[in-house]
Chain A
């Protein structure tokens, strides 16, 4: 084989590359359904939102509902709890977030009851801030569900939710 032959791709090289490329696309296309089948299916997606009746919740009380297989805390906060959440200096927070941004209606705090450390469910009205405390590895959350002490990296997540009327919340 001479020098010029080596540099210039010949017909065989073209056929080999084209075949390999077409084969790779084909295998990829065939493999995708085999992978995608493990993603949430239509029946799971159909359960993506939950409506909750909150008419029976008194100030200071908290209820836990299931949404997408996870607990959601719906806390009706007292005046003292709201004040303590709003008076915190953002500089003191590990994950700075204003309480105003976390609770649209200051009386109602809606958040995923899942510790952001490793996914346990924190206990209500416990811990240094008398709010939430995760028993697994000792994360303390304040009355806004923000991480204050312990290994959890971020505040408890606030899901998408709307007040359909004064007594019903739709989560998701």
Chain B
């Protein structure tokens, strides 16, 4: 990065920048050299930033009208829907915004898995991202409790009861989480407080995520290290800015479709019934974005082991940079990994579907197989594949395959050389 020699043109700018180098930062963000072959899967970082800001803005507004009290919460949400000016719009944007946020984050994560963006030197970006993802799930879960409908209440009951699986202290921990002997008003008020807090922690982590990204620079579809700045890069502004904005526009069309045409399709009708601690709904499922983990939880017949399996399924992602032993980043040059990648995508989709189905009969068997395969992929296939797989030849630069055919055998490094070098 060549930011340190940046000088603002105006005198005032220079005076300010010498005291707080914000202009250097904004210059860095504009000139930041970006690989010129980034495809549309790379636009989801910007889309996710937009999602986070949208959730925070609409959330702060909903907080102005919402009342965090077991007797008043449900009614206050209806008040937002019926009385508050554009309250229906703001609430639907917030509720569907959560789903859009997760849709984007799953695409972002699977993009990273395909192109090996989690590998050295980007492990810290990946781990921060996983912490963000985990906080997102916690935030979304607590937010879903706030309307105090039947699904809110029983979702809160089931998820907080996960902690009762902890040996010896499980009951004390759940009572501590609840602030009582069941999910009730104290639970609601603390969930509201934390639901308000966590997005700002996420925002802070997003800043660290981007900071950590700007140290090595973006990975790219070819997955090779590139010289920055060079013929292989373009400045972030205007090239990536405009591309990101265009992708955001397309994303907003999908977003708007849900908000305006099917605002409740991703939710559950039961949540329009006020919370009743005496009656559990017949079929209780979490929101779609948590379903794969819910399937893993249910597929283990033991309470404690089920909870452990569920948390382990997230933890294996955190240590992924060390589980995948292959030095080649992009799946483009890993023919076998590419196949296993799509098996994993299918596996997660199957888990999600099984999470929505009753945990019995064939569903349960399929869910168990899918759970085993999930762990197999990360704990066995990836470590072994990295050592055994014969990868394709890798181009030396981004420009080179474009100019000289794909890949140009004459100018490629031999795989063996790369492995030796690394």
Contacts and interface: CB of A to CB of B under 8 A. Distances in A.
B83 A33 contact: no
B79 A37 contact: no
B362 interface: no
A165 interface: no
- Counting chain A residues whose Cβ lies within 8 A of the other chain, the interface size class is 10 to 19
A36 interface: yes
A43 B65 CA distance: 12
Nearest to A45: B83
A154 to B, nearest CB: 30
B82 A37 contact: no
A41 B83 CA distance: 5
A39 B86 CA distance: 10
28 contacts: A33-B85, A33-B86, A33-B89, A33-B90, A34-B57, A34-B58, A34-B61, A34-B86, A34-B90, A36-B85, A36-B86, A37-B61, A37-B64, A37-B84, A37-B85, A37-B87, A37-B90, A41-B65, A41-B79, A41-B83, A41-B84, A41-B85, A41-B87, A42-B83, A42-B84, A42-B85, A43-B79, A44-B83
Contacts of A39: 85
A1 interface: no
B65 A37 contact: yes
Nearest to B85: A36
Contacts of A43: 79, 83
A38 interface: yes
A32 B90 CA distance: 11
A20 to B, nearest CB: 12
Interface of A: 32-34, 36-39, 41-44
Q: Which of A38, A41, A44 has the most CB of B within 10 A?
A: A41
B358 to A, nearest CB: 40
Interchain residue pairs A-B with the least CB separation, the first 3: A33-B86, A42-B83, A43-B83
Nearest to B60: A34
A36 B87 CA distance: 10
A118 to B, nearest CB: 25
A43 B87 CA distance: 12
Nearest to A36: B85
Contacts of B64: 37-38
Given A34-B61, A37-B65, A42 B82 contact: yes
A33 B88 CA distance: 10
Contacts of B90: 33-34, 37
Interface in B44-58: 57-58
Contacts of A38: 64
B251 to A, nearest CB: 14
Nearest to A40: B85
A33 B260 CA distance: 14
Nearest to B84: A41
Nearest to B54: A30
Interface in B113-135: none
Contacts of A34: 57-58, 61, 86, 90
Contacts of A32: 86
A117 to B, nearest CB: 29
Nearest to B89: A33
Contacts of A42: 82-85
Nearest to A42: B83
A68 B111 CA distance: 55
A169 to B, nearest CB: 27
Given A33-B90, A34-B90, A42-B84, 4 more contacts: A34-B86, A37-B86, A41-B83, A44-B83
